[in-house]
Every structure is written in structure tokens, then in C-alpha cells.
Structure 1
Amino acid sequence: MTPLDRRIRAEIAASGPMRLDRFWNIALFDREHGYYATRDPFGAGGDFVTAPEVSQMFGELIGAWLVAAWRELGRPSPFVLCEVGPGRGTLLHDMLRSIRQIDPDMLRAARVRIVETSDHLAALQIERVSRFDLPIARHRRIEELDRLPLLLVGNELLDAIAIRQLRFADGAWREREIGLNADGALVLSGGTPLRAVPAPLAELGRPEEGAVFEFSPERDGFIGTLAGHIASQNGAALLIDYGHLATGFGDTLQALRRHRFASALEGVGEADITSHVDFARVLALGSALGVAHVGAMTQGAFLLALGLLERAGALGSTMDEAGQRDLTAAVHRLAGNGPGDMGDLFKVAAFSSAPLTLPPFRI
């Protein structure tokens, strides 16, 4: 039993069932024993692989997107260049390298910032990009960013923000909570019927028995802060994650340990917990909060529109046969739609304060 297992069981025994979002935040972000506070979960030796770890092409293409956005936004100087939740810093490193090669003036205008809650990961991130000899500041919250034009990237960020779940049973919606069964094990259970439901749920119509609806006030709060910053200070943002483009019913709560699905309720603090992102909600909030331009598309279509195949061809021209095979596999992983590929499962949402001729706005 982990320290967080004991803590959560004690809290439930003393105060009753625990809401899912509280459980989630303890499991992932507890300063002493939380998942992200105690480990480096990325890559083949961790629990999951993110797109930047698949190939440098991912970060290079996003870096090129940022250069084009900066130019179309009028080359603001100074401006904030930010990644939220940068993992071990691989994506930020590749973006900065691409930006430096394409337009060094952009880096000279940038105030580079990372937003990271984990002290352990923040140290890895800053070390990873130290070769650029840039002044880089770390913040814990997006609200702490300088009030300047903003170019922001968040890759596999939104899926890590805590959700709540409602389940339809016996003609009523009930909030799912974490409780204890007769053997003292953690279990998901349903609470008392709700008197009111979130607005997006009210628009979906009557569900079938056992239907699950997920929503995230914390995710909404993050999008609200980001949209408000862009609307008032100008800028653009890319948010890349697995999820769906239409709001609907479904239970997407999942945990990963050593690249395999695991129970979110066992070994608390030792597995990553995520859910699929409702990108329809993300875009609707951005529009409602004053962002002038929003758009979304699949990751595969996004990367192909940015020139993934052309970049792979350029890299592969100097490689041997084995290297070219690895490069082809990386292209399929990033943009394909087969089992284990990211191309269709992952979506790219974009916000901008002004019209941009970039995907996903122009598609």
C-alpha cells in the first residue's frame, strides 16, 4: 500500500466518499508522494511515450508553426513564449532549436517561460534547454505569466487536468465518488441524485441507463485564463491531446503504468491518470471568452499540413536503410490511424487573437 493509498483511505473513513477530482489531484500532484512529483514518467523507460519522444520532427514542425504565427501577429516584441507541462523538456528543446534556425529575431524577442507544478520535472526541463543560453523562468500557474502577447503550447496537458464524472442511474444523474468497499478497497460509487447538471450535459438529451458524462471545472478554468490572456494581450495557442471533437457520453477515465492500462484505484501515486478531452467544450469556451479565432483538427492532418512528409524526406536522405525504416515508423506513429498511432486519436486545438493562414484555421 502506497503512502497516498493510506492517506486517501483515512480521509474517506473520516469524512465519507471523496469526489473524483480530489482523488485525482492527490494521486497526481501531491507535493510529496504524487505521481508527477516523484518520477520521470516519459519515454520507453517510463509509463508512456509522448509525441516529442517519438521524433524530433514533432517539435520542429510546431516550432515552425510558432514562427509563422509570430510573424502574422505582427512580430510582437517582447512576447511570452510558453510551454505548459513540458514533460522532460524535449518538445521545448526542439521548438527552440527550430525557431533559432528559422528566425533568430524571434528568440531575441521572446521571454521563454515554462509552467510546471512539479519541482522534479521543472529541473529536468530547465537542464534540457540550458544549451540555448536563454533566460528561462518557471511558473506554477498560467496566471503568473507576464501580461504580454503570448505564444503558448500545451501537449498532453489537458488530459492530466482533473475531471468529475456523473452516472445516470434510476432516472437521475449522480456524481461518481471514491469510496471503500467491505474489504477496505477503493471503489467508484454513485452519490445522491443531483438537482442540477452542467450546461453541456443538459443539451445532450435523455441518456440511456448507466451512461457516464465527464466534465472538468478545472480544465474550464485553465481555458478561461488562457483565452482571457489571448483576448486581452493578443497571441495564439496550440493545445494537443487525445480526445473528441463533439461533446457526448462516455467513460474515458484511465490509468497507465509501464505502457499498459492499469487501475486508477490501485497503487495510488504510481500510475498516470488521464481522460479524453472534450475539444468541442474547449473551443466553445475560447469563443465565449473573447478569442477571435478558434479551430481544431486531427493531429495527423495537422502535421501533414505542416509538411511532415517533406521533413521526413529531408531527414531520411542522409540515413541508412535502418534509419529510414525508423523514420517511416515515426511518421506512422505521429500521423497514422492504425492501432497505437496518434494521428486520429489526438486532436489539435488552436486559439488566436487575429486571423492566421495556418492549420487548423485554414482547413
Structure 2
Amino acid sequence: MTPLARLIAERIRETGPISVADYMAECLLHPVHGYYATRDPFGAGGDFITAPEISQMFGELFGLALAQAWLDRGAPTPFTLAEAGPGRGTLMADALRATRGVPGFHAAARLVLVEASPHLRAVQAERLAGHRPDWVNRLEDLPEAPLFLIANEFLDALPIRQFQHGPQGWRERLVGLDDKGLAFGLSAPLPQVPDTPAFRHAPEGALVEDNLPARLAVAEVARRIARHGGVAWWIDYGGWRSQGDTLQALRRHRPDDPLAHPGEADLTAHVDFEPLAALAPAYAYDTQGAVLARLGIAARTERLAQGLTGAALESHRAAHRRLTDPAEMGSLFKVLAITSAGAPLPPGFA
């Protein structure tokens, strides 16, 4: 049993079973034993690899898309260039390198990173040295200004609640204790559940997840864009009106039991994009593979392939496939772009 598992078990003995959301928050954010407080989870030495770490093309193309969206909206000056959950700063470093030649873009941008982890802030500061980023802990702390934001695999790590629809109505899935340790169970029947399409259309027997923090995050960004203009790209794995148990743990690049190693495994859940899109003044939605194709990843792949041979060339082409192929990340990952009503369609969408 991990140190955090013992603390969670003690809490449950004292106050009773906890929600899946409370369990996720403890596992990921506990100040001493939480997953993000104790390690750098990214890359081969961590537990998972995100798209910006797979290839520079990901950050380059979305960076150029941000710059084009800025130009399409009249090049507001100054504006906030933001990333939520920037990890090691790889995506933003690639985006800034790719947009050096866009007249006025860097000069008008105030770079702000939404990051609560002191360790990751230090890594980002080193990666983005020379660009003088500012940091905020929450989206609510972003400046009131035109906002051009990107968030890759940010929403999937926000704590979810899970609900089971049975003969007695809706009951919440909870984390409690049995004779072996942490275990899932169900609450008493509930008088009401969240009012989203996934709940309204759920058949008996369905398990439905609710991500209130994701709705609050998107609503906050949508409000700023409605008031000041801009675009936000939310890139994550999930779907439209998602149902079923999608809570998953990843440890040392392998799937793990979500209750097995609290604080030592990454916990995520698929994003239900339908209720998030409903919060936007205007939006566009498609798969990651389709958006990257329209942004020109095929041409960029060929340009970077020049001069590569052997293993380096194969690795480069494998990265292209991994980002775009429907059998890999291309269809599983979706892109939700939020913009103001009446604004041009964001780059990357038909």
C-alpha cells in the first residue's frame, strides 16, 4: 500500500466513502504524495508521452494556427498567448519557434502559462528562457484581454464523478474499503444528477461520467473570448456524448488498476466534448488527425524528412502516423476550438 493509499484509507474510515472526483484529486494533487507533486511524468522516463513530445510538428502547426487566428481577428495588440497544462513547455517552445516570422505576433503577445506545479514551472522556465513567461495557478487568473489559448491533455486529468443508472435510479460510484483495501461501491439512490445530454439519454444500466471542473474551465475561457475575442483549442482524447467507465491509470507506460497505486500512477478519463461545446459562443470540432491534416502536417513531414535516413527517417514518419492515423491518436483525440460569435472559422477546420 502506497503512503497516499494509507492516508486515503484512514480518511474513509473516519468519514466514509469518497467520490471518484475526490479520489482523483488526492491521487494527482496531494501536496506531499500526489502524482504531480512528486515526479516529472512526461517522456520515456515518466509514465506517458504526449503529442508535443512525439514530434515538433504538433507544436509548430498549432502555433502557426494560433498566429493565423490572431491575424484573422485583426491582430489585436496586446493579447494573451496562453497554454493550460504546459507540461515541460515543449509545445509552446515549438509554437514560438515556428511563429518567429509572423510580423508583430511575438511583440504583441503576453505569454502566460497556467501551471500550479513548482517543479514543472521550473522546467518550463528553462525551456522557454528568453520568452519571459508569466505563470498563474488557475484559468480565472488570466488577464482580461484577447485570449489565444491552447490546452493539450489538460481536461482529461480533471477529477470526474461517476454515476450508475439502475432499477432504483441513479447512484454515485464511490471509493470505499473492503477486506483487501480500496474498493469501488455505490451510494444510496440520488434525488438528482447533472443535467447534461449524456445523463438525459442514458439507458438503464449505463455508467455516465461528469466532469464539472472541465465545464467550469471551458466556461471561464469562453466568457473571456466572448468579451475580448480570441480562440481556444482544447485537444484531448474522448468523444461526443461519452458514456461508460473511462477512468484509467497509467504507470511506467503501462495500464494499471486505478486503485492499486494512489499517487504513483497517472489518472485520467475521456472527455465528453458535447456539454463543453454548448458553453461556447461559437465552436468547431473534429478529430486530431483531420485538423492536423488541414494544418499541413503531410507537407511539414516531407520537409523535415529531407536529409534524414535510416532509423531517424523511420522514427520521423512513425511520429506522423502516431499523431494522425485513425488507428493511433488520429481519431481517439479530438479538437474543440472555441471562438467568438461571428468570427472566422479557426484554422484547421473545414
Kindly provide the CA deviation profile for residues 118-173 of structure 1, in whole angstroms up to 9, marking residues without a partner as x. 1111111111111xx12211110011111111100000000011100001233311
Tell me which amino acid in the other structure corresponds to 1:218: P
Q: What is the deviation of 1:202? A: 7.3
Q: Any residues of structure 2 matched to 1:74-89 within 5 Å, and which?
A: 74-89=74-89
Which residue identity is paired with 2:192? A
Higher alpha-carbon deviation: 67-76 or 166-175: 166-175
Residues 80 and 111 in structure 1, CA contact (< 8 A), matched pair in contact too: yes
Q: What's the RMSD between the two structures over aligned residues? A: 1.4
CA drift of 1:333 comes to 0.2
Partners in 2 of 1:303 and 1:170 — Cα distance?
Answer: 44
1:217 to 212, 234, 237: 212
The residue matched to 1:199 in structure 2 has which SS? coil
1:344 aligns with 2:340: no
Contact 2:82 2:149 (8 Å CA) reproduced: yes
Q: Residue in 2 aligned with 1:126?
A: 125
Q: What CA distance in whole angstroms lies between the structure 1 residues aligned with 2:78 and 2:305?
A: 37
Identical pairs, percent: 45
1:176 maps onto 2:173 in alignment: yes
Asked if the contact 2:168–2:189 (Cα under 8 Å) also holds between the matched residues in 1, the reply is no
Contact 1:160–1:274, Cα closer than 8 Å, also in 2: yes
Aligned to 1:9: 9
Native 8 Å contact 1:201 1:213 kept in 2: no
Give unmatched runs, 5+ long, in structure 2.
none
Residues 206 and 255 from structure 1, CA distance in 2 versus in 1: closer, same or farther, beyond 3 angstroms?
closer
Who is 2:97 aligned against?
Answer: 97
Q: Distance in 2 between matches of 1:48 and 1:196?
A: 37
Q: 2 CA distance for matches of 1:206 and 1:109?
A: 47
Which letter maps to 2:320? Answer: V
Query: Cα deviations across residues 273-313 of structure 1 (Å, max 9, x unaligned)?
Result: 00000111110122xxxx2x201100000001000000011
Quickly say closer, same or farther: Cα 1:298–1:135, change in 2 above 3 A: same
SS at match of 1:103: coil
| Corresponding residue to 1:329 among 295, 318, 330 | 318
Cα drift, residue 203 of structure 1:
5.8
How far 1:264 sits from its partner (Å)?
1.2
Are the aligned partners of 1:163 and 1:215 in contact in 2 as well (CA < 8 Å)? yes
TM (norm. structure 2) is 0.96
Shift in CA distance, 205/306, structure 1 to aligned 2, threshold 3 Å: closer
Say which of 262, 265, 284 aligns to 1:268: 262
Specify the SS of the correspondent of 2:330. Answer: coil
2:289 matches 1:295: no
Aligned counterparts, 1:1-363, within 5 A: 1-100=1-100, 102-130=101-129, 133-183=130-180, 185-200=181-196, 204-205=200-201, 207-209=203-205, 211-244=206-239, 246-286=240-280, 291=281, 293-338=282-327, 341-353=328-340, 354-360=342-348, 362-363=349-350
Instruction: Spell out, residue by residue over 1:28-68, the C-alpha distance to the aligned partner (whole angstroms, 9 max, x if none).
Output: 01122110111111111111110001100001001110110
Conservation of the 8 A alpha-carbon contact between 1:172 and 1:194:
yes
Distance 1:134 1:125 in 2: 11
Alignment-mate amino acid for residue 330 of structure 2: G
- Give the letter aligned to residue 325 of structure 1: E
Whole-angstrom distance in 2 between the partners of 1:193 and 1:357: 44
Could you tell me how far apart the structure 1 residues matched to 2:321 and 2:222 are? 33
Alpha-carbon distance, 1:326 to partner: 1.5
Conserved 8 A contact 1:29-1:118? no
Measure, in 2, the Cα distance between the counterparts of 1:219 and 1:357: 23
AA aligned opposite 2:344: L
Q: Distance in 2 between matches of 1:154 and 1:302?
A: 15
Superposition deviation, residue 105 in structure 1: 1.5
Deviation at 1:218, TM superposition (A): 1.2
8 A contact 1:37–1:121 mirrored in 2 = no
Q: Distance in 1 between matches of 2:211 and 2:154?
A: 13
User: Helix, strand or coil for the counterpart of 2:215?
Assistant: helix
Measured after TM superposition, the shift of residue 323 of structure 1 is 2.4
Residues 247 and 39 of structure 1: CA distance in aligned 2, closer, same or farther (over 3 Å): same
Aligned residues: 349
Mapped to 1, the partners of 2:33 and 2:305 lie a distance apart of: 43
Tell me whether 314-323 or 211-220 shows the greater mean CA deviation. 314-323
Q: Secondary structure at the match of 1:42?
A: coil
